[in-house]
Structure 1
């Protein structure tokens, strides 16, 4: 965390400079038993590759809108930060017909809705270890096929303006600066007291509260997140065990 950070991408850059090897995002899917842990450096590498995919392959420009039809997932967090890196608007659960690019998860309902976008369409299989679709959905690029060959470093073609729109969630638009400022201002109320804070979040990403607890808040204070999909399937005893083993300091659910 750096006082001069103005965008979510700046926050990630500061985290990378401060301690690249510490955990940043730990993901659980309690429907499948999947667990993935990403250090700051590994997460930042995925963000850089995805930002290069957006800028070079999908030809997005600052101000373009990317509809994210994705569940809470570590790859969704990657896309949110990649959009911030390029300067495009991440429209969470947004209308594909109004978007320049759409990014969909593998469920048929999302894929059907995503076909309303006249621009590029990307599909995420959301398989363990970032695996590919056995058969990519027709009309979609398979993210797991496209992203590995992208560059490991990202440099935007132009300066990203922190005052320009960066995020739309639940009908509310935020600039990059507003995301950072609000995440910082609300951190103490969430129980995030500073570096080392570790949040376990079972909240969806389709609200500001879910994004704050599951990504932006921890990033703003130099903390980390244990991101849980299908947390409701986990019993209280198992949850207590996870909280202890992951050294969680704050629970949001």
Structure 2
């Protein structure tokens, strides 16, 4: 963590400089048995490709709004930091009819059709697989994102005092988001090397803070668990031990 960081993209750059090989997000979907672990470097690569897609493929400009109709998922985390890298506003569960663009996961595709701008669909299948057939009215993110570059530079410098995130009805600037992430990291007892397990959805500040921003700000990592209610008795305790969990957000 660098005291000069004022946007989520700054936090990621500092994490890369400190230790690119350390785990940042470990994702479990207990409905499918999926486990994906992303190091800081791998996460940053996904963010760069996605930010280039936002800037060049969607032609999104700073201040435009992207409705993210997505659950707590490692690809949602990628989109959140990619949006802030470009300077567009990420609206979690935002109104697609009022957004400039929409990114929808399987299960929210009908909702996203209300957006008159560009629409991207995520299968949310293990390993980010493509749809067998692209959904009507959408481009498949998994098809589009690999063609974009591994390095990203915004055409316009991002203003930390401009809106960056809308979640649970609250709008935050990049600078406010970073400050609140640091505060939340302190509240959760996170320090460099901590391993936080989060079962919280991305529908509130508490959920996205525990599931992404606070660990990123603290130099910690998150084990993000979705559909954990489908685990067999005793399985979560084994996960806590095997993943060397130091704290939980449930």
After TM superposition, the score normalised by the length of structure 2 is 0.99
Could you say which residue in structure 1 is the equivalent of 2:42?
Answer: 42
Show structure 1 runs of 4+ deviating over 2 A. none
Distance 1:184 1:234 in 2: 32
- 1:11-160 equivalent positions in 2, closer than 5 A: 11-107=11-107, 110-160=108-158
Q: How far 1:30 moved relative to its partner?
A: 0.3
Q: Separation in 2 of the partners of 1:7 and 1:236?
A: 40
Aligned residues: 250
1:182 match: 180
* 1:252 lines up with 2:244 in the alignment: no
The CA distance in 1 between the partners of 2:125 and 2:133, in whole Å, is: 13
2:169 equivalent to 1:171: yes
Per-residue CA deviations over 1:42-83 (Å, capped at 9, x if unaligned) read 000000000000000000000000000001110000000000
Deviation at 1:127, TM superposition (A): 1.2
Match status 1:207 vs 2:192: no
Give, in angstroms, the shift of residue 191 of structure 1: 2.2
TM-score (norm 1): 0.97
1:236 Cα shift?
4.8
Q: Distance in 2 between matches of 1:33 and 1:113?
A: 27
Which blocks of at least 5 consecutive residues in structure 2 are unaligned? Answer: none
SS in 2 for 1:148: helix
Which runs of no fewer than 5 residues in structure 1 stay unpaired?
none
Separation in 1, partners of 2:185, 2:164:
20
**Corresponding residue for 2:227?**
230
**Residue equivalent to 2:10:** 10
